[in-house]
A and B are shown apart, each in its own frame.
Chain A
């Protein structure tokens, strides 16, 4: 059974700090890696879908990298703002199986 792990479980940073967190997944038969941002009382919002080893994607101050050979992805937030406070989920699958979600990293940005 595919297991997706995220670390840390939670994170508190000061406004303006840059931060990053990790998603680990099995590298065999890798198919796709998704990152979502989930604010309290809202729906998960898609950030990135990544499929290629070495892929890097960016959206504003948020970027992500992918290493399919070693089975990890990093999500980076540059210059964190209070509105970045949310739970960041990653999900992966192998072959064309359903997405398996990690439990998320809960980010709190303190003004």
Chain B
């Protein structure tokens, strides 16, 4: 079965500090995509960062970066210089392909991140 596990239901960090959110996944595929989405209280699901499994280089988007360990099936998100606006629910998601070669996202249960002033 394809699964995504986020082991930290809640985390907090002080403004301007760095925090790392964990994610592990399970798949037998060799080529796939991994995502981090954030969902603030407004409920809008916003893409934070995307990683293609065949690329060894870790993806980076401004203050957000990932540590992708393919062999360990680990995909953690690092947020540097945390800002109050980073307060949100963070979801790790994994793109799977079904027998008909169609795709769907499999989601972790999320990590609630609070950035404190």
A and B pair up: no
Residues of B with Cβ closer than 8 Å to A? none
